[in-house]
Amino acid sequence: MPDVAIIVPTLRRPESLDRALRSLFAQTTVGDRISEIVVVDNDPAGSARDGVEALRAFAPWPLVYVHAPRPGVATARNAGLAATRAPLIAFLDDDEVASPGWLNALLKAQAATGADAVFGPITGRAPEARAWMKPYLERFFGREGPETTSLIETPYGCGNSLMVRAAALPGAAPFDAASDQAGGEDDALFAALRARGGRFGWAADARVEEFAPAHRATLKYALARAFAYGQGPSQTAAAARDWPAVLRWMTIGAGQAVIWGAAAAALTLIRSPKRAEFYDRTARGVGKLFWMKGFEPHFYGARELARLEALGI
């Protein structure tokens, strides 16, 4: 019986969405396990509808269009979940391209490890980035893990993942809509899963490529994201009211900011291409210090929509 739904949230990326969906249509050795592919259009104007309808005839499995007009990453994921009853949920972002054996590798890893959430590797692509920043940005947008499929201690983001719905995605809206603008909805989800005794797995062969659009393939954007990633441990500890842990993370952040900031300054003086990596480490350290409400950068939802409109997209 079909038991897997693939959810693809999208916001005004017609070419990327087309590429992502065609990669899903090319999935191999999954038999009849896919119940549907759910595309969640997070644009208030519903701009993805026509593109999805144009691809419907090429889809080997049911292709479901859902309009979630309130822009926000958590809202989009929850809307996708509401459109399917499948017990296994795979997430692919609209800027990702799945390898032909992607879903099969995730399913095999979940069966082998018994994990509640399984993640795969990502090869970052930043074709429009400046030459000196391109290696850093492609690593930034990428993701690597163990060489073999196994259980892991630390979860990753939702893009390129498979989850057991009953364990990892409880309730009607497991993603916190308060994260719609800043992101981090998956961090909160996985922290709660860990607290319930959930397990995480790595699917070494479930590779996707992620193509950073031009407005994101910049040092400014990457460092803002690095700052937000740095905030994560402090914010998670604060949400649990574990104030000793908050203090510990802030102390670590202060040390990172000083050490990596000094290294970044030295590399900047000699114009080393490696300076971007140290800018990143410094930003993550600063994020651990300034984790409080009011310092969260916004990458999604209404802010992302405004950015796209400003760019004429």
What confidence tier does 297 reach under pLDDT thresholds 50, 70, 90? Answer: confident
3-state secondary structure of 192: helix
237: amino acid identity, one letter: A
- pLDDT one-digit tens code per residue, 45-69: 999 999 999 999 999 999 999 999 9
CA–CA distance, 234 with 41 (Å, rounded to integer): 32
Region 23-46 average pLDDT: 96
**Backbone dihedral angles phi then psi of residue 311, each to the nearest 5 degrees:** -85, 0
Asked if 254 and 286 count as a contact pair (C-beta separation under 8 A), the reply is no
196: amino acid identity, one letter: R
Region 169-190 average pLDDT: 89
CA–CA distance, 226 with 281 (Å, rounded to integer): 8
- pLDDT one-digit tens code per residue, 207-265: 999 999 888 899 999 999 999 999 989 988 998 899 999 999 999 999 999 999 999 99
CA–CA distance, 312 with 310 (Å, rounded to integer): 5
pLDDT at 153 over 80: yes
pLDDT at 144: 97
Higher pLDDT, 130 or 202: 202
Helix axis angle, 185-195 to 219-239, nearest 10°: 30
- Considering the four listed CATH numbers 3.90.550.10, 3.40.50.300, 3.20.20.120, 1.20.120.80, the one that applies to the domain covering 4-211 is 3.90.550.10
Beta bridge partners of residue 201, listed in sequence order: 118, 151
- Where in the chain are the domains? 4-211, 219-310
The helix (run of H) or strand (run of E) holding residue 50 is helix 49-55
